[in-house]
Amino acid sequence: NAGVMQNPRHLVRRRGQEARLRCSPMKGHSHVYWYRQLPEEGLKFMVYLQKENIIDESGMPKERFSAEFPKEGPSILRIQQVVRGDSAAYFCASSPDWGVLDEQYFGPGTRLTVT
């Protein structure tokens, strides 16, 4: 059973471009969470999704950021018109459909650099 997969692992974008980060949860998991980690800081919750539904997006910036988790395919975190302050590590985690919902398994992260 492959773990949580994220791609790309490293992404460089110029200011004003769009960034698309992908996350494939573990097999059998339909709960996905996105987090952002700035250098030397802790993880900040962004959004919690289930298949085709956003459950909690209280950590998402109001503008430029969006997330989806379609019926088929990976979850996507989209950042439009990136700015330097968006440079961070973005981690995705998933949790199972059964048993303990709380245990999360993290992907290796995508490191976004905005130049």
Smallest distance, Å, CB 88 to other proteins? 12
Query: Does residue 105 bind other proteins (CB under 8 A)?
Result: yes
Count residues binding other proteins (CB under 8 A): 24
CB of 60 to other proteins, least distance (A): 11
CB 107 within 8 A of CB 33: no
Residue 72 binds other proteins (CB under 8 A): no
Nearest of 60, 58, 101 to residue 77 by alpha carbon: 60
Q: How far is the CB of 48 from other proteins (least distance, A)?
A: 6
Establish if 7 lies at the interface with other proteins (CB under 8 A). Answer: no
Q: How far is CA 73 from the centre of its chain?
A: 14
| Whole-number Å distance between alpha carbons of 42 and 68 | 24
Does position 33 interact with other proteins (CB under 8 A)? The reply is yes
Rounded Cα–Cα distance for residues 99 and 102 (Å): 9
> Residue 99 CB, nearest distance to other proteins (Å)?
11
